[in-house]
Amino acid sequence: MDNEMAHYACDCWDAECKISSGWIECVGCADRSCYDLTQHTKFSGQRLVAERQLSVPKRVQITERKINSTIIGQIFRKDTSIVVKYLESLSENQAHSLHEKLEEENEKCTINEKEFIITRSMFKLETKEKIVQVEEFTPSVIEPTFGIGRLLYVTLEHNFKIRPEDNQRKYFTLPPLIAPYKCAVLPLSVNAEFKPFVKQISDLLTQADISHKIDTSSSNIGKRYTRCDELGIPFAIAIDFDTLQQPYSIALRELESLKQVRVKIDEIVSVLQDLATEKVTWNEIFALYPIFTEQQIKRLEN
């Protein structure tokens, strides 16, 4: 609607997202055309244009304003600059209209609440042909505006879920690509034997720039999984007693499905990198690696 568009825009498009309370505007893209530069030119008197070389010179008709400041000065004296600036500021249409009127009679103009009589000897337009090799233009501006806070809120609301079997278990299904933490590192317990593996895995993830959260608290691993789910961490690495046996491996859990697979420690970085960048899906990983059975998962969480 016209009354919803800014005065400087010649076109505007909005992107809205639907949330629980209705539609909310999150992005606005305004075509400001050349409004900004023409306004700067108008008030500063400096021409702000760009040039581009023409591949083939062309013949054009150009119209020049002939403002006779000498005659204007003789008649208007101290008001000379006011009249000259007025004539220079006329739009193309206004200049042509004044030129046509002066063909028949003098034109009365009001400038700064003062009347002036403009004559043909003061102002006229001359049209001539010119060959140009460089084309001038005033650049246009497309202005995109993003409501970052709104986009974050929409992302969180759209990805907020509750486990159907337990309405107290809430979680965020943030896509791995935008999740702040890509994975959690969780030892099964505070057993000292797990500590070297926690450090080893954390160091590997850090070297690969994979953001992760370590939770070595004394809470059982089921509660720690829940805490990670509430933070929207898409994957969790569990270090258990099987990790202590060669070949060293961990249990890798996916947030939404709760399914787990067994992955060797020396492969975990490449697996998480591919998951975090969405080069592979969890279903592909689930089909590729040994499945951690439901019985094993329950035994682990208890």
**Residues 124-151: tens digit of each pLDDT:** 888 888 888 888 888 888 999 999 999 9
Above 80 in pLDDT, residue 175? yes
* CATH number, domain 162-301: 3.40.50.800
For the chain, the structural domain boundaries read: 1-49+138-158, 52-133, 162-301
| Alpha helix ranges (H) inside 169-220 | 195-207
Topology at the third CATH level for domain 52-133: 3.30.720
Q: What percent of the chain has pLDDT over 90?
A: 52
**Residues 209-232: tens digit of each pLDDT:** 999 999 999 999 999 999 999 999
Q: How far is CA 282 from the centre of its chain?
A: 28
Q: How many C-beta atoms lie closer than 10 Å to residue 97's C-beta? A: 13
Q: How many C-beta atoms lie closer than 10 Å to residue 192's C-beta? A: 8
User: What is the model's pLDDT at position 2?
Assistant: 58
Provide mean pLDDT across the span 240-267. 94
Q: What percent of the chain has pLDDT over 70?
A: 95
What does the mean pLDDT of the chain come to? 88
User: What is the model's pLDDT at position 75?
Assistant: 82
User: What is the model's pLDDT at position 302?
Assistant: 56
What tokens appear for 242 in the block? 């099987």
Above 80 in pLDDT, residue 297? no
